[in-house]
Amino acid sequence: MNHEPGQLAVLDLEPAKSDFLSETLAGLSRRPPTLPCKYFYDERGAALFQKICDLPEYYITRTETAILRLHAHEMAQCIGPRSELIGLGTGAGTKTRILLEELEAPAVYIPIDISNKQLRQSTALFRRLFPGLEILPVCADYLEPFDLPVSQRNAAREVVYFPGSTIGNFEPEEAVKFLRRIVDLCEKNGTLLIGVDLQKDRHVLEAAYNDRAGVTAQFNVNLLVRANRELGADFNPSRWRHCAIYNSGEGRIEIYLISEADQTVHIAGHVFHFWPGEKIVTEFSYKHTPEGFTALARAAGFEFVRMWTDDARLFGVFYFTVL
């Protein structure tokens, strides 16, 4: 536990700087070179992402939130009373709050997030809002295996809540492996409530990831700023341009940083050369059909129960039980 005077007790499994370094070196050595998107979320990155969520082009957050506001009561009925809610990457907790307000006598809430500061802020808020709820925050990279804290209460069932369409960052085969880990987390009586961005017109998608205000571009380039600060790299952020395109054949948004000059970058004794126009892949975001995602989940060991969506079918919140 990381427990400082006057602060919240947080199970701190935050990735070490050595993980960031090793994954960055490995990624930049590939062809095409890559940088791991999970490191977007330092303090500035988390703040920029909150701004992205409010942008007019970025439909994902407001659509998912609207679905929750309309249907959280039905979701809570499916989940049942005295649940242990395990939130993966719940961020500021806006959507989780909507769900918790509808749940019948929830026993435990375990928020898991990679951003320590945001986790502490949201946990402090939730302890004020839900004083009778046991809250056990965990700062961790939930994309990697980790152990859950032990609750003092006996919950009727484990419910993993994974909002925000982050499942789209996985290649399909990796998505199945990750969902199998959630099956193990849930155990026999467990369930999964998960947000999934659905396939749609490419213009809607590309506008969402190339906003006119340039906030997503700042968010993307901030990954280089973080590498400079934490790893001693010497990226020149002004020599890199953000770009996001929809690959319809693969059904995914592809996000790049494009080199605008012939340049060399040094990181921990390693040298990387980039020519003008060369791309670093920073994120893939797969968009699924309801049928396609249901098949993925079933391959992992989940049984489809229900999906809630908006009128335009931009986004889906899926509910599964363990097979």
Provide the pLDDT for residue 302: 97
Return the pLDDT at 45: 94
Mean pLDDT, the chain, whole residue set: 93
Mean pLDDT calculated for residue range 280-305: 98
Confidence of residue 16 (pLDDT cuts 50, 70, 90): low
For the record, the structure tokens of 227 come out as: 């590498």
Above 60 in pLDDT, residue 73? yes
| DSSP string computed for 220-267 | HHHHHHHHHHHH-----GGGEEEEEEEETTTTEEEEEEEE-S-EEEEE
What pLDDT shows up at residue 146? Answer: 78
Give residue 147's pLDDT: 80
**What pLDDT sits at residue 13?**
67
CA–CA separation, 134 and 5 (whole Å): 20
Which residues lie closer than 8 Å to 40 by C-beta, 6 or more apart? Answer: 49, 219, 220, 222, 223, 282, 283
Nearest to 163 by CA among 47, 66, 256: 66
Per-residue pLDDT, 148: 87
Mean pLDDT for the stretch of residues 291-318? 98
Kindly indicate the confidence band of residue 2, based on its pLDDT and cuts at 50, 70 and 90: very low
Q: Residue 286 has which token pair?
A: 């797969």
- Condensed to tens digits (0 to 9), the pLDDT of residues 76-112 reads 999 999 999 999 988 889 999 999 999 999 999 999 9
Answer with the residue of higher pLDDT: 146 or 61.
Answer: 61
In angstroms, the CA 155 to CA 187 distance is 12
Q: Which residues pair with 173 in a beta bridge?
A: none
pTM of the complete model? 0.92
Give the percent of the chain with pLDDT over 90: 83
Q: How high is the pLDDT of residue 15?
A: 58
Res. 115 pLDDT band, cuts 50 70 90: confident
Show the beta-strand stretches assigned E in the chain. Answer: 11-13, 83-88, 108-113, 134-135, 138-140, 157-162, 191-197, 240-247, 252-259, 263-267, 270-274, 279-286, 302-309, 315-322
Q: How far is CA 178 from CA 58, 129, 185, 189, in A?
A: 26, 31, 11, 18
Given a cut of 50, is residue 3 above it in pLDDT? no
Q: Which of 81, 79, 75, 142 is nearest to 110 (CA)?
A: 142
Res. 141 pLDDT band, cuts 50 70 90 = confident
φ, ψ at 234 (rounded to 5°): -125, 45
Q: What is the pLDDT of residue 8?
A: 57
**How many angstroms separate the first and last alpha carbons of the chain?**
34
Phi, psi (deg, nearest 5) at residue 61: -65, -45
Half-sphere exposure of residue 282, counting CA atoms within 13 Å on the CB side?
26
pLDDT in tens, 169-197: 999 999 999 999 999 988 788 999 999 99
